[in-house]
Amino acid sequence: MDTQISPEVNTSNEPKTWSQRFESALHPAIARFNASISFDIELIEYDITGSIAHAKMLAHTGIISPAEGEQLVAGLEQIRQEYRQGQFKPGVDAEDVHFAVERRLTEIAGDVGKKLHTARSRNDQVGTDTRLYLRDQIQQIRSQLREFQAVLLDLATGHVETLIPGYTHLQRAQPVSLAHHLLAYFEMLQRDWERLGEVYGRVNISPLGCGALAGTTFPIDRHFTSQLLGFEQPYANSLDGVSDRDFAIEFLNAASLIMVHLSRMSEEIILWSSQEFGFVKLKDSCATGSSIMPQKKNPDVPELVRGKTGRVFGHLQGMLVLLKGLPLAYNKDLQEDKEALFDSVKTVKACLEATTILLREGLEFRTTRLAEAVAEDFSNATDVADYLAAKGVPFREAYNLVGKVVRTCLEAGKLLKDLSLEDWKDLHPAIDADIYAAISPKQVVAARNSYGGTGFEQVRQALVAARSRLA
């Protein structure tokens, strides 16, 4: 199977990819350049599954005999087993996985094998294989998203009343429940899960039977093969069927958004694990050390996820550029969609797996440090303004008053909690002793009990609602 293609005239009895129109074989370098077998072998099981459906349809419609159909199916299943056992390893001379399977089928079944390609082109064949592959991968990624969401929920459940500084502009803003913070990522992943479900619907359309571009003269039954393969329906237009890669772009967009969310979380974990923040401790199972600095523990997992995000973005951009100028229908350019899809799928799955493990067993939140962090800043300033507004002071006036007292505190090296009641009354006579309870971190968080807020009761309700989505 790995023999080199000769630049001389091909006089062998080996089946040729092309018709007798061609007098000589491809130059070896061009053959290698043209071949996709090195990567589209990834599609072999899907190619076999699609070919089995096609063979059954040919027999069903009387284009071939039932016995021939059975021979083809048996031969294709034999190739599947050979591949699984590591016995089927086509080389560059096969050009692509589709021809490799057909050639091996002919070796097994004889001339009957040559009938498999009746009423089919590689254009609709590769489109079918790619959709079968992506359909399967989408389901796997959605399962991974659900697993990650479950880990987030478990982690959040144990940290409802653990407080963490909330930031805007990377500046301390207001304290929030750590569970609330984690649930924000749960919601992002929920959209990812839903988005992939929507993409699945547009992947799940069968191009099989579209032929090269115009359909076929044979009395095929496209609905029959569509049903056999579990597609929702066949493409309504043969030109569209063989040239459509919208579904691939949509998947890459959905994959890119998954990576955006993973990268945002990774960036936070990287910051939180630094000495400057000290919010999380990385465990040995998910971190490495320095080759020269023995004291260091590096956040390799989130750094790699952050880095691999650009890789998936690149595939999306590449696919958009690939398609923007292609005339109908099939062009060889479309061969370039495979590696982008395959690599993006593998990257997303690997990053989801690694991040899930990291959150499940690779880090722990340093609750003492978190408690210190929420008590050492002015993130309760808004609550002083709210306190005054509740006493009848116009909010903008209250806002300006609090800004003034914060400045005074900064100059004096104090926090709001360090001010005496006399200091507070100097700010505004409406302030009373209950100000201290109002600006305590726990109360600041608990008081934000509006729907979707960080108040503990809201967070507990959000956890229940989130679990119901996973049920």
Q: Which residues are catalytic?
A: 169, 290
∠ CA(34), CA(38), CA(40), 5° rounding? 90
Largest CA distance in the chain: 104
DSSP string, 308-352: HHHHHHHHHHHHHHHHTTPPSS--GGGGGHHHHHHHHHHHHHHHH
∠ CA(218), CA(57), CA(213), 5° rounding? 45
- The token pair at 267 is 């960036």
Question: Cα(184)–Cα(331) distance, rounded to whole angstroms?
Answer: 43
Q: Which residues on neighbouring strands pair with residue 166, listed in sequence order?
A: 174
CB 199 within 8 Å of CB 227: no
Q: What 8-state DSSP symbol labels residue 164?
A: E
Question: Cα(249)–Cα(134) distance, rounded to whole angstroms?
Answer: 12
Q: Which residues on neighbouring strands pair with residue 292, listed in sequence order?
A: none
DSSP string, 127-141: HHHHHHHHHHHHHHH
Question: Cα(373)–Cα(148) distance, rounded to whole angstroms?
Answer: 28
On the question of a cis peptide bond just before residue 329, with omega within 30 degrees of 0, the verdict is yes
Pairing of strands 171-177, 163-168: antiparallel
Nearest residue to 243 via CA among 330, 135, 302? 330
